């Protein structure tokens, strides 16, 4: 379609013929438009035609924010996948495949009722193994500021540490060399050994009183000048201490098989007549010996009387 120009010097006839030729040959008769076109002018008819063309030869895309973009004939739709987040692959024929890469990165958070990776499943706050095997953290350390609750705690290694308490095989020790404290009662069913001392309430040689105090059935050795203190019936600052002088040989003190009161060098008027056997005091028992002899007329000693002191 050539450009039509009418000069200011042209006649009205020239204007008429030029206009009719423009309307007939360039614009055409509006009555000849397709019945599918409802517009009554050329511009609107062209816009309507484009709308019809794009509706059949193109399409519109829209995102989650309701933003739309028209994709018409000749346009190219480019889908770009973000690294480690999504992959887009175009293949024949007219196929677009959108998927996840082998390594996926989520920059904020990922929420799902259940997450499954391999045989590990996370549902709510529970981690389980879908194949009923043991959930393993490998050789990695596990740190928590909360509590660990379990029916049993086991391991494949020989040494396990909880805080400063180390369990190696059947040996329990403190890793910082401090004293291990047990704040609650401790019941030991089998013998409890400490050095050379064995405590065994169930043994035949031990005596357990009704108050729960256990008398040792074997020897009790106190070293480094230690002693046994008896508080007595009154809990005060006074005790009776059982101690020994440093022995230079093995010594044995035997308590007799009877009831009574032990007499010490500090006892006063403690020996009574019933404690002495008949004829138990002789000259050998007197520290300062004095004798009185009774003689007959020939000077023969008939009787000797022993006494203490002069």
Smallest CA-to-CA distance from 137 within 145, 129, 149 is with: 129
Strand, helix or coil for residue 47: helix
Q: Give just the sign of the alpha carbon dihedral 207, 208, 213, 218.
A: positive
CA distance 40 to 32: 11
pLDDT tier, 144 (very low <50, low <70, confident <90, very high otherwise)? confident
Residue-level pLDDT at 249 = 93
Residue 36 domain boundaries: 12-60+79-99
Is position 41 within any domain? yes
Is position 51 within any domain? yes
The percent of residues in the chain predicted with pLDDT above 70, rounded, is: 80
Residue-level pLDDT at 254 = 92
Strand, helix or coil for residue 44: helix
Is position 283 within any domain? no
Is position 48 within any domain? yes
CA atoms within 13 A on the CB side of 73: 8
Running DSSP on this structure, what letter comes out for residue 148?
-
Is position 275 within any domain? no
Is position 224 within any domain? no
Report how many domains make up the chain: 1
pLDDT tier, 194 (very low <50, low <70, confident <90, very high otherwise)? low
Buried b (16+ CB within 10 A) or exposed e, 188-214: eeeeeeeeeebbbbeeeeeeeeeeeee
Is position 47 within any domain? yes
82-124 pLDDT, tens per residue? 778 888 888 888 788 888 888 888 888 888 889 888 899 999 8
The per-residue pLDDT of the chain, averaged, comes to 79
Is position 290 within any domain? no
Strand, helix or coil for residue 250: coil
157-174 pLDDT, tens per residue? 788 888 888 888 888 899
Top-ranked range on mean pLDDT: pick from 17-31, 209-223, 245-259? 245-259
CA distance 219 to 195: 12
Smallest CA-to-CA distance from 20 within 8, 4, 31 is with: 4
Residue-level pLDDT at 252 = 92
Smallest CA-to-CA distance from 84 within 107, 64, 112, 63 is with: 107
Residue-level pLDDT at 282 = 65
């Amino acid at each position: 379609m050539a450009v039509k120009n009418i000069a200011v010097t042209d006649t009205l006839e020239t204007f008429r013929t030029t206009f009719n030729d423009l309307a007939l040959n360039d614009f055409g008769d509006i009555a000849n438009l397709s019945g599918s076109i409802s517009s009554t002018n050329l511009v609107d008819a062209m816009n309507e035609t484009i709308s019809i063309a794009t509706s059949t030869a193109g399409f519109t895309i829209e995102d989650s924010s309701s933003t739309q973009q028209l994709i018409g004939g000749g346009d190219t739709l480019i889908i770009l996948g973000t690294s480690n987040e999504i992959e887009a692959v175009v293949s024949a024929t007219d196929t677009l495949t959108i998927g996840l890469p082998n390594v996926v990165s989520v920059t904020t958070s990922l929420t799902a009722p259940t997450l499954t990776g391999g045989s590990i499943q996370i549902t709510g706050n529970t981690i389980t193994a879908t194949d009923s095997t043991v959930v393993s953290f490998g050789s990695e350390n596990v740190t928590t500021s909360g509590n660990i609750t379990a029916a049993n705690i086991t391991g494949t290694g020989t040494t396990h540490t909880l805080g400063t308490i180390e369990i190696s095989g059947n040996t329990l020790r403190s890793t910082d060399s401090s004293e291990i404290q047990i704040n609650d009662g401790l019941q030991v069913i089998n013998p409890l050994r400490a050095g050379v001392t064995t405590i065994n309430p169930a043994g035949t040689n031990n005596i357990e009183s009704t108050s729960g105090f256990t008398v040792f059935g074997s020897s009790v050795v106190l070293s480094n000048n230690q002693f046994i203190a008896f508080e007595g019936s009154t809990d005060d600052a006074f005790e009776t201490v059982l101690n020994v002088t440093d022995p230079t040989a093995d010594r044995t003190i035997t308590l007799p098989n009877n009831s009574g009161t032990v007499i010490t060098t500090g006892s006063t008027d403690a020996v009574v007549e019933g404690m002495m056997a008949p004829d138990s005091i002789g000259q050998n028992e007197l520290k300062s010996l004095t004798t009185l002899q009774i003689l007959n007329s020939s000077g023969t000693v008939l009787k000797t009387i022993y006494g203490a002191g002069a």
